[in-house]
Structure 1
Amino acid sequence: MKRPLGAQISHALKERGVDVIFGIPGVHNQEMYRGIEEAGITHVLARNEQGAGFMADGYARASGKPGVAYVITGPGLCNIMTPMGQAYSDSVPMLVFSSCLDEAQAQRGQLHQMKDQRAAADCVADWSCQANTAQAAYGLIERAFEEFELSRPRTKHIQVPIAQLEAEADPAPFPNQPALHNKCLPPDVAPIMSLLNIAKRPLFILGGGARSNLWRQILTQLGAACFTTYAGRGMAGVGYALDFGAMLPRPSSSEMIASADLVIAVGTELAEVDLWRTDLGHSANLIRVDLDPEVLSDRHRAAVKLQADGESFARALLAAADQVQPATGWSPEEVAQARARWRAEVDAERPGIVPVIDALRAAMPVDTMIYSDMTQFAYVAKEIWDMAHPYHWHHPTGFGTLGYAMPAGVGGAVARRGKPTAVIVGDSGFQYTLPELGTAVELRLPLPIILWDNGKLKEIEDSMVRSQIAPNAVVARNPDFGKLAEAYGARSAAPENLDELQTAVRDAFDAPAPTLIRVTPDISG
């Protein structure tokens, strides 16, 4: 039956599998809220549109489904643009709906007015489009979900004029049959198998786009070593003897890569935030496998390129792997020695954090999904904390925004009710999106929030000192975080040693509310 278009949009999203929407209602977008409950969708109320966007991001990473957010014209869209940029850079499927003014050029002084909000959002999204009719809105929804499925997932933005949201509209057409994937097949990997057949020291670099649970089996069968990017951690599981881990940023990792006689990079940009250097370091043939043509044509100049998704490539590779004798050029001893050396480097660069991480890891279930913020504690953990499962550690890697972890962890916990989810955040980053603690309390989420409180922007201070700059503006007065958490209705803990930390974390997973666990550098003695 006919309904206002704002209500029909929620029904159209429900038909495409959307169960949760994050956002904040306002007078401009209230018509989008008319159909949410009617469609059977849960709405999660954020405290700021930035929080809503990060929640949608966290939900998408945990569920594998697009994260959806509703925001108002102007400031609402501006507030969510940081999460939109983060989701774009980290290949997260996020769909943002906003209202917009019916006419923004001939009349000035309107509520929430921007000169060109569609263009502003386009700077941090895959695309940003205005739907001036119901048919256009439905078509853009169809396009967004098709692209989420078939191409590199990134942020999409659809804005609808207020008058159109209020106007009666027919229901959206039933979702079209999705396009079939162009899957990678065993014949497609024949050139790669020929190179693997003569390689003695093949090396895989597995990124977030590798997306398969077959890699441990593939690596074992081929006798190959591997690195992972931060986003690819867990692809090889724990304990694979030829796994160098997420140590690509270690400067001397380039020497190990140079010793390989074949390098295969799957689902990774090999970007600055993956390597923290200009060159990968390879001297042998480089093979790139990726969905994105821009990645395949980048500065690393691969000798063999294959446009494919990680899952179908892994299946094709495994199907053909019996044609290759396992390589014998790598030894577990050299991998173990390299990892031990790099772990010592990490410990020396940021002293005192490694023991805390080891204790924290021992206290968490192996299937815990972790959301971390831009903080020294997370920088250390991302290198030395081996993940048993892929896609269980999420970090704002590309855009690199502070304030990500708290709301993203809420979104992740919503997506995986009954499964362990945790947040790691610094004292400064936590205060960017602290009010979203209220949302976590409302939802009664058993969410441990490990707050690394060193009382300053320590990473920036260290960088300034290295650059011989007086460390200005790196110390801020912190609140009593425990009292602040309790004021929201959350629990709090302030462990004084590592045993107390482990107890606090275990208790937090069983609590009927989030628990803020304040940890200072003094905890490791």
Structure 2
Amino acid sequence: MQPLGVEISRALAARGVEVIFGIPGVHNVELYRGIIEAGITHILARHEGGAGFMADGYARASGKPGVIYIITGPGVTNALTPLGQAYSDSVPVLAVASCLDTADLDQGRGRLHDMISQLGAAQSVVELAGTGLDGPSTFELVDRALAGFATNRPRPALVQVPINVLGALAAEAPPPVAPPARPKASDADIATVAQLVENARKPLLILGGGARNAAAPLRELVTRQNLAVLPSYAGRGIIPDDHPNSFGAMVYGAPSAALIGSADLVIAIGTELGETDFGRATLGHRAPLVRVDLDARALADRHRASHPIRADANSFATQLNAALPNTGSTDWSTSAIARRRKAGRVAAETYPGLQPVIDALRKALPETATIFSDMTQIAYQAKVTWPMTAPNRWFHPSGFGCLGYALPAAIGGKVALGRAAPVIALAGDYGFQYTLQELATAVELGLNLPIILWDNARLKEIEDYMVQNQIAPNAVVAKNPDFIALARAYGANASQPETPADLSKAIETALGATTPTLIRLTPDFRP
């Protein structure tokens, strides 16, 4: 028997965890006793918020759960923001936290890191939160979290363990069990949907991030049945944007409303159909809506699906392919799709002057680059106009919309994908300062990570919004540091390209470096 803190690390390793992000403290130090023995790599963040975003980026890039170790009280509250982002974007992040001794829990005795209810705070942003009061209950909570990641909509979980329990001797965890199978559509549901597809003249497929594991069968389905495709931002690349049946990134606003309203069948797979994708609360469909999702709650939401089906996207697409004839005929023409795709992209270019910079970036980056972006205008436009040829190439903090996401998430993504994979952070000057301290982590790890910093010296999105709403701009300009000097002070490389040729060289050099590189671009950059 070993202290429970040791057995937790052993249990995680036995369940496939290879990396943990976190910060040790007096309360959670027992979690650190067994990390090395368990063969797990620990990555030291500079803030629990950074650790949470790193775990998020690691999970998105690898497809495996991201794990963080955090302390009682402020460690947990600091991590709530990235946990909230993971919740809104369906990312499997497991937080393991210390909490006060069992005798002091929720007693308000003024202990160090005391909170009214640490568990209650966590429950506002995670799918599962619980307290391990001994070894068996702790391991059960961990296994419930991992089973939920594997089978349900993969939202974050928090397991807290009292300090005295972490240090107490415990038996080792039981062996890991195979995750339960994901739900599959019934034969009757598949037969119904197949008949709807065969009868439709203008069937439209809406694909979200929950369909990324089904790229192969979905591409077969789209091509064989001549289905038109409208991806959400998270679903871009499942069907390549240059596919003749793809409407590309015209999901936001009026273009998609007219498109969806003209369809005589809508099949939405793995998408929340949320406001942050469509720019409106309602979908605007008049036709039958087939809704395929792992989240039973989504199947009963305001969109009122006529055919709600709880199923895994991959199995559903595979089953539907088998149930349909080899070819289908619809009234969607490739010329109409091309025209509408172009109209959607033109409408999306709402930030004057940014598209030439985006085009220069696209030309300078490898096509296989994985990009983690922040809440900044250059990312808002780029994630619309940058063609996606494969899924999992662009990750953005949708839904919760956190500033400071790009750098730590890119660190986590880089750890997951390795040195040979080009990973890029794209941030704005204001959001970058939320988590810039994580440069130190990237330097310690020797990551060949280019960090593209768009520095327009203001909160430009907020300034524009104020102007649009006839509010005199206020509190939208802040004095920035010398970012080049700051990056170098951390031990990173830094440059400020003036031309597209300079930018290409800077990125090429950064991808071959042994330390991260800050690449600052300003509105003076003229492609």
Give TM class, smaller chain: over 0.9
**Match for residue 260 of structure 2?**
257
Contact 1:21/1:43, CA 8 A, preserved across alignment? yes
Q: CA deviation at 1:238?
A: 4.0
Amino acid at match of 1:130: T
1:258-297 matched pairs, under 5 angstroms: 258-297=261-300
Contact 2:85/2:399, CA 8 A, preserved across alignment? yes
- For 1:151 and 1:369, the matched residues in 2 are separated by 26
**Match for residue 177 of structure 1?**
178
Amino acid at match of 1:512: T
| 1:302 and 2:301 are equivalent in the alignment | no
Amino acid at match of 1:300: H
Match of 1:410, SS? helix
**Match for residue 38 of structure 1?**
37
- For 2:107 and 2:472, the matched residues in 1 are separated by 50
Contact 1:424/1:450, CA 8 A, preserved across alignment? yes
Amino acid at match of 1:47: R
Amino acid at match of 1:522: D
Amino acid at match of 1:97: V
Amino acid at match of 2:301: D
**Match for residue 141 of structure 2?**
140
**Match for residue 369 of structure 1?**
370
Contact 1:444/1:514, CA 8 A, preserved across alignment? yes
- For 1:470 and 1:107, the matched residues in 2 are separated by 45
**Match for residue 16 of structure 1?**
15
Contact 1:186/1:317, CA 8 A, preserved across alignment? no
Contact 1:289/1:307, CA 8 A, preserved across alignment? yes
| 1:453 and 2:455 are equivalent in the alignment | yes
Amino acid at match of 1:175: P
**Match for residue 522 of structure 2?**
520
Match of 2:17, SS? coil
Q: CA deviation at 1:141?
A: 1.0
Figure out how many residues of one structure are paired with residues of the other and give that number: 522
- For 2:372 and 2:460, the matched residues in 1 are separated by 20
Contact 2:493/2:518, CA 8 A, preserved across alignment? yes
Contact 2:209/2:270, CA 8 A, preserved across alignment? yes
Match of 1:322, SS? coil
Q: Give the 3 Å change call, closer, same or farther, for CA 170–334 of structure 1 in structure 2.
A: same
Q: Deviations over 1:394-438 (max 9, x none)?
A: 111011010011100000000000211111100000000000011
1:47-62 matched pairs, under 5 angstroms: 47-62=46-61
Q: CA deviation at 1:307?
A: 0.8
Amino acid at match of 2:93: M
Q: Give the 3 Å change call, closer, same or farther, for CA 106–117 of structure 1 in structure 2.
A: closer
**Match for residue 88 of structure 2?**
89
Match of 2:24, SS? coil
Q: CA deviation at 1:218?
A: 1.4
Q: Give the 3 Å change call, closer, same or farther, for CA 328–99 of structure 1 in structure 2.
A: same
| 1:431 and 2:430 are equivalent in the alignment | no
**Match for residue 355 of structure 1?**
356
Contact 1:6/1:35, CA 8 A, preserved across alignment? yes
**Match for residue 245 of structure 2?**
242
Amino acid at match of 1:404: Y
- For 2:342 and 2:523, the matched residues in 1 are separated by 23
1:107-118 matched pairs, under 5 angstroms: 108-118=109-119
Runs of 4+ in 1 over 3 A off after TM superposition: 104-107, 184-188
Contact 1:5/1:168, CA 8 A, preserved across alignment? yes
Amino acid at match of 1:355: P
Amino acid at match of 2:310: Q
Match of 1:483 among 482, 485, 489: 485
Q: Deviations over 1:38-69 (max 9, x none)?
A: 00000000000000000000000011111000
- For 2:240 and 2:508, the matched residues in 1 are separated by 23
Q: CA deviation at 1:498?
A: 2.1
Q: CA deviation at 1:225?
A: 0.8
| 1:393 and 2:413 are equivalent in the alignment | no
Q: CA deviation at 1:144?
A: 0.9
- For 1:270 and 1:512, the matched residues in 2 are separated by 41
Q: CA deviation at 1:320?
A: 2.1
Q: CA deviation at 1:186?
A: 5.7
Q: CA deviation at 1:522?
A: 2.2
Contact 1:185/1:313, CA 8 A, preserved across alignment? no
**Match for residue 228 of structure 1?**
231
- For 1:279 and 1:208, the matched residues in 2 are separated by 19
Of stretches 174-183 and 373-382 in structure 1, the one that deviates more from structure 2 is: 174-183
TM-score, L = length of structure 1? 0.97
Amino acid at match of 2:248: G
Contact 1:22/1:43, CA 8 A, preserved across alignment? yes
Q: Give the 3 Å change call, closer, same or farther, for CA 186–357 of structure 1 in structure 2.
A: farther
Amino acid at match of 1:83: P
Contact 2:126/2:156, CA 8 A, preserved across alignment? yes
Q: Give the 3 Å change call, closer, same or farther, for CA 107–395 of structure 1 in structure 2.
A: closer
Match of 1:268, SS? coil
Contact 1:216/1:240, CA 8 A, preserved across alignment? no
TM-score, L = length of structure 2? 0.97
- For 1:365 and 1:313, the matched residues in 2 are separated by 33
- For 1:286 and 1:105, the matched residues in 2 are separated by 47
Amino acid at match of 2:426: I
Q: Deviations over 1:285-309 (max 9, x none)?
A: 1111111111111111111111111
Match of 1:305, SS? strand
- For 1:177 and 1:216, the matched residues in 2 are separated by 29
Of stretches 478-487 and 338-347 in structure 1, the one that deviates more from structure 2 is: 338-347
- For 1:105 and 1:370, the matched residues in 2 are separated by 42
Contact 1:59/1:408, CA 8 A, preserved across alignment? yes
Q: Give the 3 Å change call, closer, same or farther, for CA 101–234 of structure 1 in structure 2.
A: same
Q: CA deviation at 1:321?
A: 3.0
Match of 1:255, SS? helix
**Match for residue 317 of structure 2?**
314
Match of 1:263, SS? strand
**Match for residue 150 of structure 2?**
149
- For 2:107 and 2:508, the matched residues in 1 are separated by 59
Q: Deviations over 1:130-174 (max 9, x none)?
A: 111111101111111111111111110010000000111111111
Of stretches 366-375 and 43-52 in structure 1, the one that deviates more from structure 2 is: 366-375
- For 2:256 and 2:168, the matched residues in 1 are separated by 59
Amino acid at match of 1:503: K
Contact 1:6/1:31, CA 8 A, preserved across alignment? yes
- For 1:278 and 1:113, the matched residues in 2 are separated by 40
Q: CA deviation at 1:91?
A: 0.4
Q: CA deviation at 1:480?
A: 0.8
Match of 2:434, SS? coil
- For 2:259 and 2:478, the matched residues in 1 are separated by 42
1:468-507 matched pairs, under 5 angstroms: 468-507=470-509
Of stretches 226-235 and 357-366 in structure 1, the one that deviates more from structure 2 is: 357-366
Contact 2:184/2:310, CA 8 A, preserved across alignment? no
